[in-house]
Amino acid sequence: MVLSGLIYISTNQNSCKQQMIEQVFRKSEEKLEDFGLRSSPGSEEKLEDFGLRSSPGFLYNQPSTLVGRTDVVSMTPWLAPIIWEGTFDPTLIDSIYKQHNLTIATTVFALGKYTRFLKDFLESAEEHYFVGFRVHYYLFTDQPEAVPEVKMGENHHLTVRRVPSLDRWQDISMGRMEILEKLIKNELANEADYIFCLDVDAKFYGRWGVESLGRLVGVIHPWFFDYPRDQFSYERRPESQAFIPAGEGDYYYTAAAFGGSLADVHHLTKTCWEQLNIDIANSIEAIWHEESHLNKYFLYTKPSKLLSPEYLWRDINAAVGQVKIIRFSHVAKNNAEVRPNV
C-alpha cells in the first residue's frame, strides 16, 4: 500500500468513470512492472478503498484557512506541499497513517571512517525517526564488525550488508544509486511501502514522521533554500548528463536525504545510475556527483512533496528565523580527515 494522495471515486459509476478507474489501476500496475513487481491479488480493491480517514470521536485542533505560516512558502508552483513546522498536525496525521500497516525502508551507507557516525545516527533515529511505525534500516558498510549495538524500538529492525571498500568518497557516493536500484528491485517489493535514503554523518534532533511520506520526496538543501537559481551549484557543462541550462531550475535538492514510494525511487535511482555511467564512459564527473544527477532528475520529474531544510540542516550553519526546529542535521566534521577511505 502506498499513500500518495486521496482519490475520490463515486459509487454511481458511468462507463467514463469506470474507464478512468481502470486507467488508474493500469498505471499503478505499469509502475510496478517497471522494476519487475506486480500488485498482489485484491490490490485494486485496496487502492479503491483507501482514503485519508480520521477516526470518529478523534479530537484535534481545528484547521484554519486564514491563519498559518506567513514567513515561508508551503506549496510549490506545481502544487506539491513543502513541509515546515506549523504546516501539519502531527497527532492527526499519525492517527491517519497508523491505520495502515506501513513499513519504511531506510538505507544508510557507512564506509571507512564514516562508521564513527553510526552510533549517533542510529541512537538518535530510534528517538525521533518514524516512532510508532515499522522501520527497516539497511546498513551498507565495508566494516560490519564496526557496527555498534543499538537497541531497536518496537517494529524497528536493522540489516547489515557488507559492500566493497572504495578509496574515493566520490565513488562511494555515486555507487549508492546502483545499490539502491538493486535493493528495491530484488528485495523490497514485499518488504516495504516507502524508502528513504539518508546520509550517516548526520543526527536526528526532532521528529521525522509520516508527514514526510509521499510518492517522490525531495529535501531542500540548507545552503541554497534562500538563493536565486542562478547561484545554485548545478552542473553547467553540456557534456554531462546532469547538465541544467542557465535560467532553469526550481530548488536545489540535497542528495543526503530523499525518498518516496518504491516504484518512484526505483525509477529515480535507475535513471541517475544510467546517467552516471554515461558520464563515466565520456570521462566526465558532474560537479556534485550523484547530487547533480538527482537535481537534474527532480527538475524534470517533479517531486510530489518537498521537505524544508528542517529535514537536513548542517551543524555549521547559522540559525535562521524560518527554521523553527532542526529535525535532522549533518554533524560538524573535518572532511579532509574523514573522506579518504584509507
Distance (Å, rounded) from C-alpha 249 to C-alpha 32?
29
Binding-site residue numbers are: 114, 199-201, 221, 291
Distance (Å, rounded) from C-alpha 324 to C-alpha 326?
7
291 is a catalytic site residue: yes
Look at the alpha carbons of 309, 93, 206, 257 in this order and tell me if their dihedral is positive or negative. Answer: negative
Task: Give exposure, 112-146, as e/b (b: 16+ Cβ within 10 Å).
Answer: bbbbbbbebbbebbbebbbbebbbbbbbbbbbeee
Distance (Å, rounded) from C-alpha 282 to C-alpha 143?
32
Where are the strands (E) in the chain, listed by range? Answer: 82-83, 103-110, 134-141, 156-162, 194-199, 202-204, 216-220, 253-261, 305-307, 313-314, 328-330
**184: three-class secondary structure by DSSP:** helix
First to last CA, the chain: 43
- Check: CB of residue 253 under 8 Å from CB of residue 219: yes
Residue tagged active-site, from 85, 235, 290, 291: 291
Q: Is 160 buried (19+), middle (13-18) or exposed (0-12) by CB count in 10 A?
A: middle
Instruction: Tell me the CA distances in angstroms from 101 to 18, 85, 139, one per residue in order.
Output: 28, 25, 23
Backbone angles phi, psi at 63, to 5 degrees: -70, 155
Q: Is 329 buried (19+), middle (13-18) or exposed (0-12) by CB count in 10 A?
A: buried
Distance (Å, rounded) from C-alpha 130 to C-alpha 110?
21
Can you list the alpha helix ranges (DSSP code H) found in 57-137? Answer: 90-97, 118-128
The catalytic residue positions are 291
